[in-house]
Amino acid sequence: MQNKLIYLTTNPHKVQEANEFLVKKYGFNLEIMKPSFEVLEIQAKTCGEVAKFSAKYAAEKLGVPVLKSDSGLYIEALGGLPGPYNAYFDKQIGTEKFLDMMKDIPNRHAKLEHCFAYCEPGQEPILFTGGSTGRISYEAKGEKGRWHDKFYIPDGEEKTLSELRAINYEYEAQFWGHALDDFAKWYKEKLERK
């Protein structure tokens, strides 16, 4: 596969994920890029909307096809927050303050959303979404991953995403859904049609 896939991110966890799946698993020629301009992110209700807008904006500015991702944690008791404002919550509150804020809330139900948007210049973005449902733990556990990985426990599990990742990266990846695999299969077919 000769075509280079441009993936826009500065998040080290997303870089690791892209290298594990897009390069090692699918063999794509991947370039992870931080453009010289700020990739705008809109305020929206879902991560999918954010990813689609950012991918289209960046594809038009760069003049090449791009892949952009976004993820969020929707907590039922907080009306769906932090949702697409996940990174902002991490930066402003952090794990410990967040869990302290949640300590007396009995409803711990949450949903994890993981989205990838691919866009070519002059086209509408194509969105791939995934995720899982779970609950918020009462304490942070584990060292790996994003801030919410240390307190999000997928349904059917007793360990946080962070703890699961330390045990088995591929097993933990299933709780992010199939968005990345769905994109990769679609993109591979697209390359083969050329």
Token representation of residue 93? 């509150």
155 is catalytic: no
**Which among 70, 149, 155, 182 is annotated as catalytic?**
70
Say whether pTM exceeds 0.75: yes
Architecture of the CATH domain 4-193:
Alpha-Beta Complex (3.90)
For the chain of 194 residues, list the mean pLDDT of each consecutive stretch of 10: 78 83 89 78 85 94 93 95 91 94 97 96 97 97 92 97 92 92 93 81
134: helix, coil or strand? strand
pLDDT at 40: 63
Residue 191 confidence (pLDDT): 85
pLDDT reported for residue 135: 98
Instruction: Answer yes or no: are the C-beta atoms of 115 and 51 closer than 8 Å.
Output: yes
Please report, for residues 67, 92, 101, 106, 126, the alpha-carbon distance to residue 175 in angstroms, rounded to integers and kept in the order given: 21, 26, 25, 23, 22
Which residues are CB-contacts of 90 (< 8 A; sequence separation ≥ 6)?
146, 147, 148
Quick one: pLDDT at residue 194? Answer: 72
pLDDT at residue 1, rounded to an integer? 38
Q: Which residue has the tokens 């892949």?
A: 67
